[in-house]
């Protein structure tokens, strides 16, 4: 079944893409099989993370960006991560799905992914879904996340280019930006530039960027600040041009190789830990190991010594 889906996907069948993403989302074993089979077709897509506070206009921007990049003949994939924050859950759903109108275009694939149960699972599922879209032939893959939680930040970190959106009158957002998002942004967007206070926000951001002048000089890339009105077309072409310039910078500076190396290392580590956790979780249920728990409870054994026994018995590893 998987072989059939993959061969249909490689021929451009979007329904097969959707099925494959559902499988990588819901079934660890199948995800493993799928990624093993499609990996050789991946590595071509430019992955662009779009993150920023709820309601800052990420989806509206994406809707316009899809149009511009499609106009250049690119095959486009979009993964929208549903917010985990209780403050945004379910809000503005209509806006979020507006970009779905592009779904009838055979060169655009849009998927929304929700957090189900384990949060770590979302990062893994997103990564695997990106691989499916990459193998499908997407030249550009956008990943939209609300930059509130660590998980979303982790997801967006795996993008080649990170676009951070904000709106005039930063207020509390500036704290969030300072508290970590700043570090990961390659491009800043001040959306809703039709609202008051745009220039003050540009000024504030420039000041923040100035604090790290040396870092930008050394790196050869200072994040540009682009003003957009996503509800019209103002700034959209400039934003797309900045994204392309960043991609060129990554290629020329070799940063892309380092980023990808780091990403692959992280990915393998994550997979290994989850495989070990699963194996140990299963093994711990055996009576053979359950007695250890009783021994810890009766103070005959300490948790570290028990862990050593568990590792040795389940994986044959001595630590
Ligand atoms: N005035 C103005 N409104 C905008 C602009 N861009 C987006 N909006 C409006 O802002 C609201 C939120 O836009 P979305 O695109 O859904 O924002 P989002 O960041 O994707 O929101 P979440 O996914 O819920 O975090 C919508 O009502 C948009 O029409 C803009 O440039 N100017
Ligand atoms: Mg959105």
- Where are the domains positioned within the chain? 41-253, 268-315
Distance 96 CA to ligand 1 centre (A): 9
Q: Are strands 161-166 and 46-52 parallel, antiparallel or unpaired?
A: parallel
**Rounded-to-integer distance, Cα 162 and Cα 155, Å:** 11
Task: Tell whether ligand 1 has an atom less than 6 A from the beta carbon of residue 194.
Answer: yes
Question: What pLDDT score does 118 carry?
Answer: 47
Whose C-alpha lies nearest to ligand 1, atom 17? 57
Among all bound ligands, the one having the nearest atom to the CA of 55 is 1
Q: How far is the CA of 173 from the centre of ligand 1 (A)?
A: 15
Q: Report the pLDDT value the prediction gives residue 85, as an integer from 0 to 100.
A: 46
Angle value at C-alpha 86, between 117 and 143, nearest 5 degrees: 70
Nearest partner of 126 among 108, 139, 144, 138, judged by Cα: 144
Q: Is the CB of 88 under 6 A from ligand 1?
A: yes
What is the structure's pLDDT at 90? 43
Written in H, E and C, the secondary structure of 273-310 is HHHHHHHHHHHHCCHHHHHHHHHHHCCCCCHHHHHHHH
pLDDT of residue 96: 54
Q: Rounded to whole angstroms, how far apart are CA atoms 67 and 70?
A: 5
CATH superfamily assigned to domain 41-253? P-loop containing nucleotide triphosphate hydrolases (3.40.50.300)
Q: Whose CA is nearest to atom 14 of ligand 1?
A: 57
pTM of this prediction?
A: 0.89
Q: Please tell me the distance between residue 248's alpha carbon and the centre of ligand 2 in angstroms.
A: 27
Pocket flag, ligand 1, residue 103 (CB < 6 Å): no
Provide the β-strand partners of residue 162: 49
Distance 66 CA to ligand 2 centre (A): 14
Give the pLDDT of residue 86.
Answer: 47
The predicted pLDDT at position 194 comes to: 95
**Does any ligand 1 atom lie closer than 6 A to the CB of residue 92?**
yes
| Run of H or E residues at 58 | helix 58-71
Task: Check if 146 has its Cβ closer than 6 Å to any atom of ligand 1.
Answer: yes
Ligand nearest to the CA of 234: 1
pLDDT tens, N- to C-terminus, the chain (319 residues): 999 999 999 999 999 999 999 999 888 889 999 999 999 999 999 999 999 888 899 999 999 999 999 999 999 999 998 765 444 444 445 445 667 778 889 999 999 887 654 445 778 888 999 999 999 999 999 999 886 667 677 777 789 999 999 999 866 666 666 666 777 899 999 999 999 999 998 998 898 899 889 999 999 999 999 999 999 999 999 999 999 999 999 999 988 888 889 889 988 998 888 888 888 888 877 777 888 899 999 999 999 999 998 888 888 888 8
What is the pLDDT at residue 315? Answer: 85
Neighbours of ion ligand 2 (CB under 5 A): 58-59, 96
pLDDT, residue 116, reads 57
Query: Whose C-alpha lies nearest to ligand 1, atom 30?
Result: 192
**Quick one: which H or E segment has residue 164?**
strand 161-166
Kindly state the tokens that stand for 144: 């939209």
Q: How far is ligand 1, taken at its centre, from the CA of residue 230, in Å?
A: 8
Strand, coil or helix: what is 163?
A: strand
| Cα 95 to ligand 2 centre (Å) | 7
């Amino acid at each position: 079944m998987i072989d059939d889906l993959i061969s249909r996907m490689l021929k451009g069948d979007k329904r097969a893409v959707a099925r494959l993403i559902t499988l990588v989302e819901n079934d660890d074993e199948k995800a493993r099989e799928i990624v093993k089979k499609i990996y050789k077709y991946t590595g071509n897509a430019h992955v662009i993370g779009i993150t920023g506070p709820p309601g800052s206009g990420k989806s509206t921007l994406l809707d316009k960006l899809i149009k511009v990049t499609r106009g250049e003949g690119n095959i486009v994939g979009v993964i929208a991560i549903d917010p985990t924050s209780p403050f945004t859950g379910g809000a503005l759903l209509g806006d979020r799905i507006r970009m779905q109108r592009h779904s009838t275009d055979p060169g655009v694939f849009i998927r929304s992914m929700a957090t189900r149960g384990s949060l770590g699972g979302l990062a893994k599922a997103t990564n695997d879904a990106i691989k499916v879209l990459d193998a499908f032939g997407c030249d550009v893959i956008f990943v939209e996340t609300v930059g509130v939680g660590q998980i979303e930040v982790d997801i967006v970190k795996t993008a080649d280019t990170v676009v951070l959106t904000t709106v005039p009158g930063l207020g509390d957002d500036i704290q969030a930006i300072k508290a970590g998002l700043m570090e990961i942004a390659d491009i800043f967007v001040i959306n809703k530039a039709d609202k008051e206070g745009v220039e003050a926000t540009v000024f504030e951001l420039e000041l923040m960027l100035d604090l790290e002048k040396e870092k930008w000089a050394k790196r050869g890339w200072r994040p540009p600040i682009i003003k957009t009105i996503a509800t019209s077309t103002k700034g959209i072409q400039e934003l797309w041009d900045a994204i392309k310039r960043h991609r060129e910078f990554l290629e020329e500076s070799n940063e892309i190789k380092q980023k990808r190396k780091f990403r692959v290392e992280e990915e393998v580590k994550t997979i290994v830990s989850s495989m070990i956790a699963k194996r140990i979780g299963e093994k711990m249920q055996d009576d053979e190991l359950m007695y250890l728990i009783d021994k810890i409870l009766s103070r005959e054994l300490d948790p570290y010594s028990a862990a050593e026994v568990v590792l040795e018995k389940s994986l044959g590893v001595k630590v």
